[in-house]
Amino acid sequence: MTATLSPADIRTGSRAAGSAFTGTGAMVRLALRRDRIRLPLWVIAIAVLVPRFYSAASTVVAPTPEARAEAAQLIRGSFMRVLAGPVFGDGAVTSQQYFLAAYWVEFLLAAALMNILLITRHTRAEEQTGRAELIRAAVVGRHAQLTAALIVSLIGNAVLAVLVAAAAIGIGFPAASALLFGASLAAAGLVFAAVAAVTVQLTEHPRGAGGFAGVALVVAWLLRGVGAMQSLEGGPVFWLSPIGWSQQTRVLAGERWWPLALSALLAGLLFAGAYTLASRRDLGAAVVAPRPGRAGAPAWLRSPFTLALRLQQAAIGWWAAAFLAVGLTLGGMTGGMATTDLPIFPGADLGRAWISLMVFTGSLYTGVFAVLSVLRLRAEEVRGRVGPVLAGPTGRSAWLGSSLLVSALAVIALLTVYGAALGVGAAASTGDRGLVGEVIGASLLRIPEGLVLLAVPAALLGLAPRAAVGVGWAVLVYGGFVQVLGPYAGVPGWLQNTSVLSHLPWRPLGAFAPVATVVLTALAAALAILGLYGLRRRDLASG
């Protein structure tokens, strides 16, 4: 039996096959399936932190109207507005208003980061691994993957807005204010989803695309901070930041929805720009062509250590610059904190308690770098870049050991930079020059924590590489949650002791713990040795 197609059928089929959006629905289903665990975890974690942070703000930091008034006055009249943002109104401050003043920015940053990672994962990362080429070999249009990623982002942000609104209602927000609070997070998330949609067109590497989007997020945070310092309710520079637009909705202080229209407009323009750029480049290529390397290399670059150092030097430089800026900012708040009477650390010098908390915060940031530095090695293996290196005279132990050594030295260097910046900021705000050396020393005493957080995914890289990503992040997130929020969440003491981050005291408020320092350092060394042992006895990933 023979069948023929009419000219109309041919034209219809040609249009369907040639559409730039063909296959978008299937790509959405695929992306949702791949993110069936990761995306819900992000959304639920952000929503769950609303009542947790509110509990910390209302029962520990500012449990009474007098304490809330003093905390709000501290934000109004000091460098704290760089972190928190504007405080609207001059009257009595409710627990909900203080919660927003203290933590709104953190939720906005979390929503933005969730979207940056989501877009990068489903677009540029797919191109670099070659999966996008296989998908595009089927009847899938040029823009299907990007559109699917944006649709998944829309779905994730809509669910985030609803869950956060429900959580806000649970802590006493009026329904309209809770919905606006949730919508403000979703709007910021969409803007940075659009930013990432543009940056993935600019560079061939997912880390570069995520890095460019991260720089945009940092710039937005800095502009919001500068604008907050200009005026109590945000000066002209504040309006240059998408994060600032979300805060200018004035939740619980005369709500207004129209600033979110600015977020929608910018997101739309960036989405349009992303599609335009995607139409002008080849699959796997980028708008900004990578620079060709030199034809020859000096002899000192031939060792595994110098190769690892060269591969990480850019990341280390960016992290050091960020640590310098953040350390100076947080240290500059010490003087204002020292003059208050907030019951955060009962019976302690609040200025020194603030420094101790910020030193621990620097240890958490360093842990993020440590985990990322090891997961980069797993990505290099999966993408087939390790095989050519090991085909030469470099052995597996030399490759992994050199990379871990560079990461360990980077951990020490970053804690030094952060401690110095924090100490300088604290000394400048209090007039006590002796704080510089003391804070540097307190920061360096947390090196064992960073080494353990580095060694955990390193051990799994050798023994169970598929678990390295999930377990590496889980150890860090669990440790931070238990140490910071555990006492307020009712976590029992024995369970808090299971955290890697719970054994070193917060210096300079606490005393030096030599036994814990030695044990953690030995644990890090043992885990690193296990990773080296496991890598020598398993097959490399084939892609």
Last residue in a domain, options 226, 260, 285: 285
Nearest one of 252, 239, 249, 525 to 405, comparing CA atoms: 525
Structure-token match 């139409």, residue found: 279
CA atoms within 13 A on the CB side of 64: 7
Phi, psi of 143 (to 5 degrees): -100, 10
> Is 294 within a domain?
no
105 membership: H or E segment, kind and range: helix 95-122
Tokens read off for 176: 């309209």
User: Do 280 and 307 have their domain in common?
Assistant: no
Q: Is 342 helix (H, G, I), strand (E, B) or coil?
A: coil
User: What's the CA gap between 262 and 310, in Å, rounded?
Assistant: 41
Write out the DSSP string of 128-177.
HHTHHHHHHTSS--TTHHHHHHHHHHHHHHHHHHHHHHHHHHHTT--HHH
User: Do 276 and 305 have their domain in common?
Assistant: no
> Is 474 within a domain?
yes
User: Do 151 and 45 have their domain in common?
Assistant: yes
> Is 444 within a domain?
yes
User: Do 29 and 126 have their domain in common?
Assistant: yes
User: Do 377 and 504 have their domain in common?
Assistant: yes
| Predicted local confidence at residue 235, as pLDDT | 78
Nearest one of 359, 319, 368 to 475, comparing CA atoms: 368
189 membership: H or E segment, kind and range: helix 175-202
User: What's the CA gap between 327 and 234, in Å, rounded?
Assistant: 23
User: What's the CA gap between 84 and 76, in Å, rounded?
Assistant: 10
| Predicted local confidence at residue 509, as pLDDT | 54
Nearest one of 369, 352, 479, 371 to 417, comparing CA atoms: 369
**For residue 174, cis peptide bond before it (omega within 30 degrees of 0):** no
Amino acid at 106: E
Domain that holds residue 253: 20-285
Q: How many other C-beta atoms can be found within 10 angstroms of the C-beta atom of residue 9?
A: 10
User: What's the CA gap between 12 and 14, in Å, rounded?
Assistant: 5
Instruction: Give the pLDDT confidence of 63-87 residue by residue, as tens digits.
Output: 667 666 666 666 665 566 666 667 6
User: Do 436 and 378 have their domain in common?
Assistant: yes
Q: How many domains does the structure of the chain reveal?
A: 2
User: Do 414 and 483 have their domain in common?
Assistant: yes
> Is 266 within a domain?
yes
Contacts (Cβ under 8 Å, ≥6 apart) of 380: 386
Tokens read off for 295: 């034809």
> Is 7 within a domain?
no
Burial (Cβ within 10 Å: 0-12, 13-18, ≥19) of residue 334: buried
Phi, psi of 144 (to 5 degrees): -65, -45
> Is 15 within a domain?
no
Write the DSSP symbol of residue 9: H
User: Do 248 and 337 have their domain in common?
Assistant: no
Phi, psi of 523 (to 5 degrees): -65, -40
Nearest one of 129, 276, 258 to 183, comparing CA atoms: 258
The answer to whether the CB of 45 falls within 8 A of the CB of 167 is no
User: Do 150 and 246 have their domain in common?
Assistant: yes
Instruction: Give the pLDDT confidence of 150-165 residue by residue, as tens digits.
Output: 999 999 999 999 999 9
Nearest one of 221, 250, 213 to 238, comparing CA atoms: 221
Nearest one of 507, 535, 396, 495 to 448, comparing CA atoms: 507
User: Do 423 and 388 have their domain in common?
Assistant: yes
User: Do 324 and 392 have their domain in common?
Assistant: yes
Q: Which regions of the chain are under pLDDT 70?
A: 1-18, 57, 59-64, 66-85, 87, 89-93, 293, 297, 336-350, 485-491, 507-511, 542-543
Last residue in a domain, options 285, 320, 345: 285
How close are the terminal C-alpha atoms of the chain, in Å? 45
**Mutual angle of helices 514-536 and 396-430, in 10-degree steps:** 150
Contacts (Cβ under 8 Å, ≥6 apart) of 42: 114, 156
Last residue in a domain, options 228, 256, 285: 285
User: Do 217 and 268 have their domain in common?
Assistant: yes
Burial (Cβ within 10 Å: 0-12, 13-18, ≥19) of residue 175: exposed
Contacts (Cβ under 8 Å, ≥6 apart) of 392: none
